Chains A and B, each alone.
Chain A
Amino acid sequence: MLDLDLVVLHMEAETSNEIIQNLGALMFSKGYVKDSYIEAVLERERNLPTGLPIGDFCVAIPHTDSGHVNQSNIAITTLKKPSIFHSMVNPEEKLNVEVVFLLAVKDPNLQIQLLKNLMSVFQNKELLIKVRDASSKEEISELLSCLDQ
């Protein structure tokens, strides 16, 4: 399920908006999401941010309503340098995020297994560190093979 075209290593981006736009454009170009998707994700991130601290390693899981999605998928990027996302728990708090998972979920009820697998990925700090340090898309795909179930 993991589409390697949606995996970007060492993205150079200044802001969370840029990251969302870059990954969103990849999703859109492959038809996974509608043209309203990127703006919806940006808007949601502004009001209800998705930064998560996993101990001292921070990730972000931007996403929006299923109405903007054609087909579920996940875009992943590791960042050349950490970028600021705000915390889901405390929207005022800034987190230095190192790995971003842009999510497009068509039907959460049908995709419970994917969501559970995803949850176990970002609860696993060692795995996240390996993903961040990966040197190829194939390596990331292998590390995250649990998402293919």
Chain B
Amino acid sequence: MRKFNVLSVCGSGTVTSSMIAEKLKEAMEEQGIKITATEAKPTEALQLSEGGNYDFITHTSPLPKGNYPVPTIDAVGFLTGFGEDEFLDEVMRVIKEIESKS
């Protein structure tokens, strides 16, 4: 199964990041993709992503400015249900891009 590591970011690194991570895992499983997620706060995102362990970042709160080494995807639409399809399309686009490079 194709596997991806996601850094799920939200203000407290607990509530909405867990909601997004869980929902994303379910949605991706239907596509045959296994997602492993780690939750974090916005202040931790840059450093964690520089560690090289994550394929992309999803976030509900804005990320601090910086050069993130991986794609970052706004997940609020996924959280509220308004813009869910756009979010999932973007995730699939990022995943395909990552796969085409490896």
Where the two chains meet, the residues of A that have a C-beta atom closer than 8 Å to any C-beta of B are: 44, 47-48, 50, 52-55, 61, 63-66, 88-91, 103, 105, 108-109, 112, 115-116, 118-119, 122-124
Q: Of the candidates B19, B76, B80, which one forms a contact with A115 in the assembled complex, judged by CB atoms under 8 Å apart? A: B19
Residues on the B chain within 8 Å of A50, using CB: 11
**A119-B79 contact given A48-B11, A48-B61, A109-B18, CB 8 Å threshold:** yes
Residues on the B chain within 8 Å of A112, using CB: 18, 22
4 interchain residue pairs of minimum CB distance: A48-B11, A123-B81, A108-B18, A89-B76
Decide if A88 touches B82 in the complex (CB within 8 Å).
no
Interface flags for B61-102 (1: CB within 8 Å of A; 0: not) read 110000000000010100111100000000000000000000
Q: Is the interface of A mostly helix, strand, loop or mixed?
A: loop
> Which of B11, B16, B82 is packed against the most chain A CB atoms within 10 Å?
B11
- Give me 19 other A-B pairs in contact (C-beta within 8 A), A48-B61, A115-B19 excluded: A52-B76, A54-B80, A54-B82, A64-B12, A88-B11, A88-B76, A89-B62, A89-B76, A91-B62, A103-B15, A105-B14, A108-B15, A108-B39, A112-B22, A116-B19, A116-B22, A116-B23, A118-B19, A124-B81
The chain A residue with its CB closest to the CB of B77 is: A89
Residues on the B chain within 8 Å of A116, using CB: 19, 22-23
Decide if A65 touches B14 in the complex (CB within 8 Å).
yes
Q: Of the candidates B13, B15, B39, B62, which one forms a contact with A61 in the assembled complex, judged by CB atoms under 8 Å apart? A: B15
A127 CA to B30 CA, complexed, in Å:
27
Decide if A52 touches B15 in the complex (CB within 8 Å).
no
Decide if B60 touches A65 in the complex (CB within 8 Å).
no
What is the minimal beta-carbon distance from A63 to any residue of chain B, in angstroms?
A: 5
Residues on the A chain within 8 Å of B12, using CB: 44, 48, 63-65
Decide if A123 touches B80 in the complex (CB within 8 Å).
yes
What is the minimal beta-carbon distance from A96 to any residue of chain B, in angstroms?
A: 16
Decide if B60 touches A88 in the complex (CB within 8 Å).
yes
